[in-house]
Amino acid sequence: MAKIDLNADIGESFGPWVMGNDAALMEVISSANVACGFHAGDPDVMAQTMRRAVANDVGIGAHPGFADLQGFGRRRLSLSAEELTNLVTYQLGAAQAMARAAGGAVRHFKLHGALSNMASENAEIARACYAAALRVQPDIILVVLPQTAMEPVARDLQANWAGEIFADRAYEDDASLVARSKPGAVLHDAEEVGARIETMLRKGAIVTASGKEIPCKIDTVCLHGDGAEALAMARALRGHLTGAGFEIARFG
């Protein structure tokens, strides 16, 4: 039976402001990318999220982003390599401490939002972030957007890495995500998403909006947890994949 990991960005609430249904989503996914307090999350939310991950036997990942609460980390910031290094080191360290206190451990690392998009375009940004993470935790698994600038950097650093595709996002022909500002960038039909991801997994390739196939390593599928239909989409995709003969299990 083929195996595939389902991951979600999680722990993105802040104080009394609730983002997503983390408790229910934890029952669907096999890996959680936990916000580290810069683009979303706070110490209390992180602690609760880590405990839920441990209780549900869900793999824990650090999910660092830009210090941009108001913009949810989706606005591009211009930082030096040293600033990126310190940003990653600080957030990964926080995730490690919170996971350990909850009885778990951080096993993977995934960049968030605009920082991820920039790293997928610019190898120097990817290198600054990935090298910083590896310096803190040499065996950490980097979650990489395959066939972008991230992949050769991860390979060159001889890192453990997992290739990620997005369930609910359309792709350009260069393997980048269609910008959210464009029509059709975010997919909403759960049935369509299930069939689309099954096709990509069987082909071992990203299928772009134009129909182009880009062969790549696929280890995990990202489910966004912050939309109104996110939970229903996640459940539908898991049901589709298990029905198609896939086992949902952590990567690595």
Question: According to the model, what pLDDT value does residue 180 have?
Answer: 83
Phi, psi of 49 (to 5 degrees): -65, -45
| Partners of 165 in beta bridges | 221
Question: According to the model, what pLDDT value does residue 229 have?
Answer: 77
CA distances for 96 relative to 4, 201, 210, 242, angstroms: 25, 31, 41, 32
Is the per-residue pLDDT at 1 higher than 70?
A: no
What are the tens digits of pLDDT across the range 60-114?
A: 999 999 999 999 999 999 999 999 999 999 999 999 999 999 999 999 999 999 9
Nearest-angstrom CA–CA distance, 23 and 49: 8
Residue found under tokens 């898991």: 238
Residue found under tokens 């009885």: 103
- Check: CB of residue 201 under 8 Å from CB of residue 6: no
Is the per-residue pLDDT at 226 higher than 80?
A: no
Instruction: Grade residue 160 by pLDDT with cuts at 50, 70 and 90.
Output: very high
Question: According to the model, what pLDDT value does residue 103 have?
Answer: 98
Question: According to the model, what pLDDT value does residue 20 have?
Answer: 86
Instruction: Grade residue 230 by pLDDT with cuts at 50, 70 and 90.
Output: confident
Question: According to the model, what pLDDT value does residue 179 have?
Answer: 86
CB atoms within 10 A of CB 204: 12
